[in-house]
Each structure stands twice: as C-alpha cells, then as structure tokens.
Amino acid sequence: MNDQPAKPVWVGFDLGGTKMMAVVFDDQLKILGRKRRKTRSANDRQVTLERLFETIDMAIEDADVTPDRVAGIGAGCPGPLDLQKGLILEAPNLGWKNVALKDQLEKRFKCPATICNDVDGGVFGEYSAGVAKGQRSVLGVFPGTGIGGGFVYEGQIFRGTRASCMEVGYLQLATEGGSAGVGPVGTLEGLASRLAISAEAAKAAYRGQAPRLFELAGTDLSKIRSSVLARAIEKGDTAIEAIVRRAAEQTGWGIGCLINILAPDMVVLGGGLVEALPKLYLESVREGIKRNVLPSLADVHKLRVAELGDLATAIGAAALIKQQLNSRS
C-alpha cells in the first residue's frame, strides 16, 4: 500500500463445496483483494490443496501486497472439524478425511493459521463487521440445503467439546415430517430447509397447484433454487408462498426454542432463501418464534437479516485469526 514499515494484512478463506474464496483484509478488516474459484475436487488431495493455496496467492496478488505481510490466515470449512488440532475430519464434497489444513497453511504461507466451521465463521463475520457488531451474544441461523447455525458469546465463537456445535438443523420439532426413512424425522432441517421447501414446491408443481413454478423449473428439485421460488411467488403461485411461509414459521419454532436456551442479544438470519425473500421470511419467522418463546424472553432479542452475504465467512475467519493472535500477545 505504501512504503512505510509494512502493516499486517489478514487472509480469510471460505472453502465451500462448490466454490472457494480467498480475501485479503487490512487491520480494520477492509478488503484489499480477493479471488473466487470453483472448488473442483481431485483424486489426489495434494492437487486440491495446491488449488486452494493458489487461490490465496491470487488474492494476495490482487491486494497488491507482498506475501510476507500476511500476519495470519483463517479458513472457514465445512464438515466436522477438530478445532484444537486444526483438522478437517471429513469433507465428503472434497473426498477429504483427516486433512491437517491448519498445519498445511502454516507451512506453505509461513504464518499462523486457524480453521473454523464455515457457519461459525459467518456469524463471527457478522459480529466483527456486520449487522451484529458489538452484541454480547449472537445466534446465526442459515437455511440452505441443510440449516446451519453458529453462536458468538461474549466476543468468542462458542465451542463444544473437541468439536463445533450449534447444529440447529438437528433440533427435533415434531415426530413426523421430512427425512422419512433416512434420518430422524421431524427435525428443523427435515421440515424447513431450502431443500425441504423445494420438495414440497415440486409436489405442488406436479399436482398443478403451482403453475408458475412449473413453467419456471418443472418438477426437478435441482432447478427449484431460492431465486426461482421467489419468482414463482412474485408471479402469483400462492401455494408456493404458503409453503415458504410454513417453513419459515417452523424455523421460527426452532429459533424460539433456541432463544429459551441461549437468550441471545441478536438472532441473525442469512442464506439464499432469506436474501431472496427477506420480508416474507422474517415475518413468518417472527410469527413462529411466538409459538415457543417464553414471555419473559419474548423481547430480549433482536431479529435481523445478515449483511455480509457471501463474504461473511471469509471476514469472520480473518477476524478469528486476528483475535487469536491478539489474545496471545
């Protein structure tokens, strides 16, 4: 940036199932450069790792800083992790098992690194630089193919024993519904994930109850994405609106329970469906929360939509490595 003694920069990395993204930040978490690529898993794990490293290299180049200014790297990763050892225990999309990502990053880039769950990273991002800045405790809920959750408590990512937690998709809300035959039925994820919504929507399309959706995407789950659902509702498919409202309300049932458990200052909702239908979704979540929240806790939380979109995890991961290094010094 300038010729004075180089200030540190931080790298946040988001390792998704379909895309990966590296972002370089200055000390105030302002973005200096970035690179986004398809994830593309290879049979050889080293090839995939190399692609990951290159993406970071490209982001550093884009930021126009020298690699030696990178003070730390944080990486948000899917799947079960061993946070203490910095291991990805399993990442089915990448075909990875027991990959020591933290060590690999430290060896390659010669700076401290850390890993975190990608949803935790996203919530920590919103806490560090987004809608939840400065809140004492923040619960994040992100509906997608599943429903992810993360929690920041007194400035720290909340952590379970040896493992990440806040698996809000696995709250049991009913004894029927969803995932029949292939998992516990009646979970929040089984009832109300984007995938569950898409399946109900496909049924409605098949039965002739959702003509607009049928025109837009037929009856194929893979084509019934959040944006398609939003368009079908806009064009008048009331059945699709009812289906989304129902699922959002059920998400509210789950959030109501979590408020009773955690009593957070703020609940942040994010993900594609929330972004595509923020008003409808929030209204219905709010309605659903009422079913379950205790009167004494009904007004202690704020409900907000996430602000940082796709960047949340990268920001959070960078903020995390920065926090860890600061607390050590």
> Taking CB under 8 A as the criterion, which residues in 111-170 touch a copy of itself?
136-137, 145, 149, 153, 158-168, 170
125: DSSP letter? H
Choose which of 3, 208, 327, 328 interacts with a copy of itself (CB under 8 A). 208
Choose which of 62, 265, 283, 307 interacts with a copy of itself (CB under 8 A). 265
Exposure b/e, 110-127, CB count within 10 A at least 16 = b: ebbbbbbbbbbbbbbbbb
Choose which of 262, 268, 269, 315 interacts with a copy of itself (CB under 8 A). 262
180 part of the interface to a copy of itself, by CB under 8 A: yes
- Minimum gap (Å) between residue 209 Cβ and a copy of itself: 6
| Of residues 269-308, those binding a copy of itself (CB under 8 A) | 291-292, 294, 296-297, 300-301
Nearer to a copy of itself, 66 or 84 (CB): 84
> How many angstroms separate the CA atoms of 180 and 19, rounded?
30
Nearer to a copy of itself, 32 or 247 (CB): 247
> How many angstroms separate the CA atoms of 307 and 130, rounded?
6
40 part of the interface to a copy of itself, by CB under 8 A: no
- Minimum gap (Å) between residue 108 Cβ and a copy of itself: 28
State the pairing for strand pair 87-91/81-82: antiparallel
> How many angstroms separate the CA atoms of 283 and 140, rounded?
17
Q: Could you tell me if 111 and 71 are in contact, meaning their C-beta atoms sit under 8 angstroms apart?
A: yes
- Token code pair at residue 34: 């970035």
Nearer to a copy of itself, 179 or 227 (CB): 179
CA atoms within 13 A on the CB side of 154: 2
- Minimum gap (Å) between residue 267 Cβ and a copy of itself: 11
**Residue closest to 87 by CA, chosen among 70, 75, 69:** 75
- Token code pair at residue 104: 């690999």
222 part of the interface to a copy of itself, by CB under 8 A: yes
213 part of the interface to a copy of itself, by CB under 8 A: no
Q: In what order do the strands lie in the sheet with 9-15?
A: 31-38, 19-25, 9-15, 70-77, 113-117
Q: Could you tell me which stretch among 67-75, 122-130, 255-263, 308-316 binds a copy of itself (CB under 8 A)?
A: 255-263
253 part of the interface to a copy of itself, by CB under 8 A: yes
